[in-house]
Amino acid sequence: MKSLSFYGAAPAYLENIAIEGKLIVVEGTDGVGRSTQIADLRAWLEVQGYAVAETGWTRSKLVGKTIDEAKSGHELSPLTYTLLYACDFADRLEKEIIPALRAGYVVLADRYIYTAMARSVVRGLEPAYVRSLISFAPKPDLVVYLRVDVNTLARRVLLSSGINYWEAGKDRHPGLDIYDSFMAYQSQILNEFERIAAEFQFHVLDASGPIEMVQSRLREAVSRAISAKTD
């Protein structure tokens, strides 16, 4: 067992809590392939005999639907946007992540607080405020950042679901058409992720290659993190 470590002050109900599981985060911007990689990783881990739980943005039963409804109106302010996602994360932390870690599960997080950091800063909020808001987050055992350049990202998004309002950052670039807005916004997001990745020492994987190659490297990194001894 190990004690949880936090980026800031631990919530009162989590002080001195011991866990048996591992928290693995897969980060990256929209369209980079996180969901596909996590699905394949989960299947592989379960074959290896691990109990696996999965969590991700807007999956909170408390506010997930509210976020979807609020975003559909295209009128969210940057602060409201950030507060809703912080609430979503807090609810999932209490109801999903912590119980699974205590039960010994490998928890796979499809994005974590770093996405909130990148998006909020790009939307103009003060970095110090955003970090203080989500400082109750436990430190993961591993963060894998799927890195891709903006041109590759654009091709993938156009060939899949297409570009939507929020992926394009149209709230930040209302004067641009949706493609140019996407390129400008996602370039800013990717630059911010690079800074965050360096600061928090992410394990960076080139996600521009074949899915199978990325998955193989992801499994190697996760296997090392799960087998690592804890104090």
Question: What does the pLDDT read at residue 123?
Answer: 94
Quick one: average pLDDT of 198-225? 97
Task: Tally Cβ neighbours within 10 Å of residue 122.
Answer: 20
The token pair that represents 209 in the structure block? 């290659």
Question: What does the pLDDT read at residue 230?
Answer: 56
Quick one: average pLDDT of 42-49? 97
Residue 231 has pLDDT above 60, yes or no: no
Residue with the two structure tokens 């940057």: 78
pLDDT digits (tens, 9 = 90+) for 2-12: 888 999 988 88
pLDDT digits (tens, 9 = 90+) for 115-151: 999 999 999 999 999 999 999 999 999 999 999 999 9
Distance (Å) of CA 192 to CA 5, 104, 127, 136, 185: 24, 33, 11, 21, 11
pLDDT digits (tens, 9 = 90+) for 66-97: 888 888 877 789 999 899 999 999 999 999 99
- Mean of pLDDT over the chain: 93
Question: What does the pLDDT read at residue 70?
Answer: 86
Q: Please name the residues in contact with 57: beta carbons below 8 A apart, sequence gap of 6 or more.
A: 85, 88, 89, 110, 111, 115
CATH no., domain 2-148+203-227: 3.40.50.300
Residue with the two structure tokens 């394949």: 40
Give the pLDDT band of residue 160 (cuts 50, 70, 90). Answer: confident
Domain layout of the chain by residue ranges: 2-148+203-227
231 or 81: whose pLDDT is higher?
81
Share of the chain above pLDDT 90, in %: 80
DSSP β-ladder status, 106-110 and 52-56: parallel
Question: What does the pLDDT read at residue 229?
Answer: 67
Task: Tally Cβ neighbours within 10 Å of residue 90.
Answer: 18
C-beta of residue 38 within 8 angstroms of C-beta of residue 44: no
**Amino acid at the residue 13:** Y
Question: What does the pLDDT read at residue 12?
Answer: 86
- CA 191/CA 73 separation, integer angstroms: 28
